[in-house]
Structure formats: C-alpha cells, structure tokens
Amino acid sequence: MFHANTTSRSPLRQRTRAGEGSMKCMLVTLAAIVLLIAPAAAAPREVGAASLVGEARFSLLGFALFDAALYTQSGEFAWSEQFALSLTYQRAARREVLLNRTLRGMSDRGAGDDQALAPLRERLTACFSDVARGDRFTGVSTGPDTARFYLNGEERCDIRWSGFRRAFFGIWLDAEGGQARLSAQLRGEN
C-alpha cells in the first residue's frame, strides 16, 4: 500500500517555492527602480516649467469635488508672485453653479456684492463652462489684477479686475474654517 509522505516536499515543489520568492524579489526591485527613475506627475502644459508647491483634494460631505494643485516658478508660494492654480474635477458641474460659487466666494472675501460683481460675472461666463469628471481648469495669476484661464490646456480668456488675485484665488488659497488645512496644503505648509 502506498503512503503519502506529508512531512517532506518534492524537489520540484521546493524549486517552485524558491522561484516564487525570487520572482517577488525581482518584482519589488523593478517597482522600486521604476519609482526612482519615473518623473513625478507632469505639470499641466499651461504652467510651463513651474514647480509644484502643494496639492489637496477638496470634498463636501465625503464626496470628492476636485483635486487642486498650486505651481510657482520658485516652488514657494507668495501672494506677490505669479502662480497657477489647477483644479481637476472629480465630478461634473454646470457652469452656472461654478460661477455662483465663485462669485459668492469672492463676495465673502470683500470683493463686492452681486451688483458690483455683475460686470465680472459677464467676463467669467466667457471663461467658465460646464465641466465633466477629469476636466482640468487652470487659472494663472499673472498680476495682482490679472489672470489667464485654461480648460484642459486650451486658453479660455484673460481677466482684468482690481484685486482679482487675492479675491478669486483666495477662495482656495486662503480658505477659513474646515478648508483652512487644505489651503495650507496647497501653499506647501503641511
């Protein structure tokens, strides 16, 4: 009668297990090499050679709305310098909703009431559009009162409005309350 020997393994089985171990080691090594030589996620082309300062995911009630990334030439944030803020949407949104939230945020920051911001609403209507998941909207602050906007790398418009940099970009970069930590992440402070 044949009895299976359960205490010893066949040489073939031992070689297979040894091969699995060396294969895992090789895959881990390969993954490490790829991570070391692969470039970081490329900056959007509209920001040129600017460096990433910080990034954050903005959510509401646990739902991701957009990922934000801030870029500057020096890699450091300062309100007095040019910068680019890029929002990559995780959900679709209508232009009217984006406009209303933006203008309310600017008004909350002291940029004026609905009547004072009406001319800016007209200009921003030309810049904004409905967005789908994965769309990237980038604002490049070119001066204290000016900005250029891009949607998925295509130029949309230029804006000139007194105090625009601080009133508009401050919505994301100088948020208060629950979003203050995310603003700090964007500014590279966390």
What is this structure's pTM? 0.75
SS3 assignment, position 60: strand
Region 6-16: what's the mean pLDDT? 51
45-53 long-range contacts, CB within 8 A, separation 24+: 45/153, 46/84, 46/86, 46/138, 46/140, 46/150, 46/153, 46/155, 47/71, 47/84, 47/86, 47/138, 47/140, 49/73, 50/83, 50/84, 51/75, 53/77, 53/83, 53/186, 53/187, 53/188
Q: Give the Cα-Cα-Cα angle 31, 32, 35 (nearest 5 degrees).
A: 85
Whether 31 has a pLDDT exceeding 50, the answer reads no
Whether 28 has a pLDDT exceeding 80, the answer reads no
Can you give the pLDDT at residue 11? 54
What confidence tier does 178 reach under pLDDT thresholds 50, 70, 90?
low
Return all residues near 173 (Cβ < 8 A) that are at least 6 apart: 70, 77, 85, 183, 186, 187
Region 103-121: what's the mean pLDDT? 93
Cβ atoms of 71 and 47 closer than 8 Å: yes
| Segment 52-110, tens digit of pLDDT | 999 999 888 888 999 999 999 999 999 999 999 999 999 999 999 999 999 999 999 89
Can you give the pLDDT at residue 10? 52
Domains and CATH numbers, the chain: 46-186 (3.50.70.10)
Region 141-163: what's the mean pLDDT? 95
